Structure 1
Amino acid sequence: MQTSEVIALTIIISTTLILLIGGTLIYFLFLYQRKRYRHQQEVLELREAFNQTLLQSKLEIQEQTLDHISKELHANFSHLVSLININLSEILPQSSSEIKENILETKSLAKQLLGELKALSSSLNTDHILHIGFVKALDNELTRLSKTKKYEVSITKTGEEYRFAAEHEIILFRLCQEILNNTVKYSKAKRVTATIIFSPTSFRLEVADDGIGFDIDLALEQVAEKGSTGLMNIKKRAHLINAEVLLNSKPNEGTSFVIIIPREQTK
């Protein structure tokens, strides 16, 4: 074999070996990167699952606390208000005409307070909410808001009503309470509306007000600074029930929350 042929064969073999080694390195590098990516995904999934479990546990504790408060309001405070009303009724016949007017007014206030306590107790009681259903529970909540004489409220419903899984229905109701709480605290609104649409493919709820509105991006930036958790709680609760939340607001143009839940999330 001539020297030139040996050199050519050597070059071919060397090139083949280099390509083979390079290809092997690239293959193992690809496997390593894919394994690393999978590991990162698993870590993210585990972290997300942990956060979901933690949030679910916190919500369960909150529900237990609210149930306890509900029972205390109904058993103790309502009973005390009833006793006050009874005592006022006993004093009334023995009072002068001038004092009677004050006593009657106090009895009226006590009766109003008793009604408010019962309504508040019902809104905190998980079993009661599940018994009457989400739509009626939201209607009751808006009625309580209306009784403050500060807001004009309305609720409209279209489509054939269907129920959600029990835990989803509670989370959805608490989410709405959070929205209404934000409205009361910040909106300076005069009108609050709720629009519910039951369609064959999804559930849609819009809660809107005619208040002062706000800059959404700025509000989200200031969440950490102000320690405000309202908007974050709404998003977290919505995520638990696979709901999409659309927030629309601009300064001086009111605020609306739209909640969309796929039909498969229902019973």
Structure 2
Amino acid sequence: MQDLTGEIAIVSIATIFLLLISGAPILFLFMHRRQYIRYLTEQEQTRNLHQRELLQSQLEIQNQTLQQVGHDLHDNIGQLLTVTLMRLNALEDETEHSDLQPSIQQTRDLVNSIITEVRALSKTLDHDTVNRFGLLPSLQFELDRIQRVGKIQTQLIPLGNSYSLGEQVETVLLRMTQESLNNALKHARARTIKIRAEYKPDKFLLSIADDGRGFQVDEVMNRPLTEAGAGLNNLYRRAGLFGGDCQIISQPGVGTRIEISMPRIQPI
């Protein structure tokens, strides 16, 4: 009986030993795979962080450059135009009864319009505009500037209770809107442009739509480097910087719609 018990114990120990030996490689592969997945995850996080920091630096440089250009427009070009206007006023007085009066008045009105546009443009280039006035007034200001030309009808449609997304995010949204509007003005031949800004509890949705001639998105995105513009890629990259998403929806003959989604609570 004791011999039988001893044999059972030996067999049990041997079985356990064999199981350990056969299971060790599986356990090793499992642990190795977990470490490899963790390594890949850390590499991806490091790469994303690096790309985010790089894009943030680019945006900061761009904002500083645009702000400087805006200040130069306001201070230098604006002053020169004001001096020109003063000279035209003086010239108008000097030629009060001359046949040149209508031409001088037309030129003065034109210079006044240029001064107004330069001041408006200097504001759109200043990133402090969003911080001072908020996103919705800044978007309306952009549309009003286009509307004054008289060729394109514009509309801003706000939905929901507005809230702040933070200066950085709202500045990026304004730059993305400016990029989209610029593309519409240059290429779309649109008659109307509408911006829809929807404040949801968990995210902010921005849509910029025109009724222009549209284009094939895949064809534009796949153009060779010598023919491709950076505008569309900039939209995707800027949205992803703060955990958002951008979709470009367009077809020839049916216009273009840019849809941007930004989370309300930004990832740390």
- Verify same fold: TM over 0.5: yes
Contact 2:244 2:260 in 1 (8 A): yes
What is the distance in 2 between the residues matched to 1:166 and 1:132? 11
What is the distance in 1 between the residues matched to 2:79 and 2:123? 15
Question: Which residue of the partner structure matches residue 239 of structure 1?
Answer: 240
1:12–1:202 CA distance, 2 compared to 1 (3 A): closer
Structure 2 residue 199 is the aligned partner of structure 1 residue 198: yes
Contact 1:155 1:194 in 2 (8 A): yes
What is the distance in 2 between the residues matched to 1:90 and 1:124? 33
Contact 1:154 1:192 in 2 (8 A): yes
What is the distance in 1 between the residues matched to 2:208 and 2:94? 51
- One-letter identity of the residue aligned with 2:158: K
- One-letter identity of the residue aligned with 1:25: P
Contact 2:130 2:167 in 1 (8 A): no
What is the distance in 1 between the residues matched to 2:193 and 2:224? 24
Q: Deviations over 1:25-46 (max 9, x none)?
A: 2211221222122112111111
What is the distance in 1 between the residues matched to 2:32 and 2:161? 53
Question: Which residue of the partner structure matches residue 92 of structure 1?
Answer: 92
What is the distance in 2 between the residues matched to 1:214 and 1:161? 33
Structure 2 residue 54 is the aligned partner of structure 1 residue 54: yes
- One-letter identity of the residue aligned with 1:210: D
Structure 2 residue 104 is the aligned partner of structure 1 residue 103: yes
What is the distance in 1 between the residues matched to 2:15 and 2:264? 61
Structure 2 matches for 1:163-174, cutoff 5 A? 163-174=164-175
Higher helix share: 1
SS of alignment partner, residue 264 of structure 1: coil
Structure 2 matches for 1:1-267, cutoff 5 A? 19-95=19-95, 97-222=98-223, 224=225, 226-265=227-266
- One-letter identity of the residue aligned with 1:51: Q
What is the distance in 1 between the residues matched to 2:211 and 2:244? 24
Contact 1:73 1:121 in 2 (8 A): yes
Structure 1 unmatched ranges of 5 or more: none
Contact 1:215 1:251 in 2 (8 A): yes
Q: Deviations over 1:28-73 (max 9, x none)?
A: 1221222122112111111110010000001001011111111111
Q: Deviations over 1:77-135 (max 9, x none)?
A: 10000000001111112226221211111111110000000000000111122111111
What is the distance in 2 between the residues matched to 1:255 and 1:214? 8
Task: Give 1:217 deviation, angstroms.
Answer: 2.1
What is the distance in 1 between the residues matched to 2:221 and 2:18? 55
Count of residue pairs brought into register by the alignment: 258
1:163–1:17 CA distance, 2 compared to 1 (3 A): closer
What is the distance in 1 between the residues matched to 2:164 and 2:37? 40
Task: Give 1:222 deviation, angstroms.
Answer: 2.0
What is the distance in 2 between the residues matched to 1:222 and 1:46? 30
Q: TM-score, normalised by structure 1?
A: 0.88
What is the distance in 1 between the residues matched to 2:189 and 2:14? 80
What is the distance in 2 between the residues matched to 1:45 and 1:185? 38
What is the distance in 1 between the residues matched to 2:15 and 2:226? 62
Contact 1:171 1:241 in 2 (8 A): no
- One-letter identity of the residue aligned with 1:228: G
Contact 2:221 2:228 in 1 (8 A): no
1:16–1:202 CA distance, 2 compared to 1 (3 A): closer
What is the distance in 1 between the residues matched to 2:241 and 2:44? 17
Contact 1:223 1:229 in 2 (8 A): no
SS of alignment partner, residue 167 of structure 1: helix
Q: TM-score, normalised by structure 2?
A: 0.88
Contact 1:246 1:257 in 2 (8 A): yes
Deviates more, 1:179-188 or 1:43-52: 179-188
- One-letter identity of the residue aligned with 1:132: F
1:13–1:164 CA distance, 2 compared to 1 (3 A): closer
Identity of aligned residues (%): 32
